[in-house]
């Protein structure tokens, strides 16, 4: 029996346009349309509101492409390196993360042999 090759793998997302999925494109178009209707017609800005809506949709497409380009965990790692998790209240922070070192040099989280007599050694 002859087997044909499958061009679409079922475990991978369907990329529709510019490397984005359908829901991401729909969110960008929907967000841009909402801003265009809200600013252009409701607030009475006219053409300026429509341009703002178009710019919002374009910025959302750029945001979704940048989120997708780094791979899984890229956004979490970027937020961690920026130190934004330290701004969250204690109950909302992810557990077991080390604090971010910013120009402090090395930091030891366990006792060292040469500082056994030091008051800060554990």
Q: Is residue 1 part of a domain?
A: no
Percentage of the residues of the chain whose pLDDT score is greater than 90: 8
pLDDT of residue 90 exceeding 60, the answer is: yes
Decide if pLDDT at 9 tops 80: no
In a domain, 34, yes or no: yes
DSSP assignment of 84-122 equals: GGGGS-TTTSPTTPPPPPSS-----SS--GGGTTSTT--
Task: Note whether residue 76 is domain-resident.
Answer: yes
Query: What's the number of domains the chain is made of?
Result: 1
- The boundaries of the domain holding residue 32 are 22-115
Is position 92 within any domain? yes
Residue 38 in any domain: the answer is yes
What confidence tens digit (pLDDT) does each residue in 44-81 have?
Answer: 888 888 889 999 999 998 888 887 777 777 778 888 87
Higher per-residue confidence, 53 vs 13: 53
The 3-state secondary structure of 29-85, one letter per residue: HHHHHHHHHHHHHHCCCCHHHHHHHHHHHHHHHHHHHHHHHCCCCHHHHHHHHHCHH
Q: Is the pLDDT of residue 38 over 80?
A: yes
Is residue 111 assigned to a domain? yes
């Amino acid at each position: 029996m002859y087997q044909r090759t499958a061009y679409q793998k079922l475990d991978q997302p369907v990329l529709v346009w510019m490397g984005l999925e359908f829901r991401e494109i729909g969110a960008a178009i929907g967000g841009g349309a909402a801003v265009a209707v809200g600013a252009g017609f409701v607030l009475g800005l006219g053409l300026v509101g429509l341009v703002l809506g178009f710019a919002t949709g374009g910025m959302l497409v750029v945001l979704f492409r940048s989120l997708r380009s780094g791979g899984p965990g890229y956004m979490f790692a970027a937020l961690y390196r920026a130190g934004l998790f330290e701004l969250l209240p204690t109950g909302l922070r992810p557990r077991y993360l080390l604090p971010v070192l910013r120009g402090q040099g090395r930091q030891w989280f366990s006792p060292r042999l040469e500082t056994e007599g030091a008051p800060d050694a554990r």
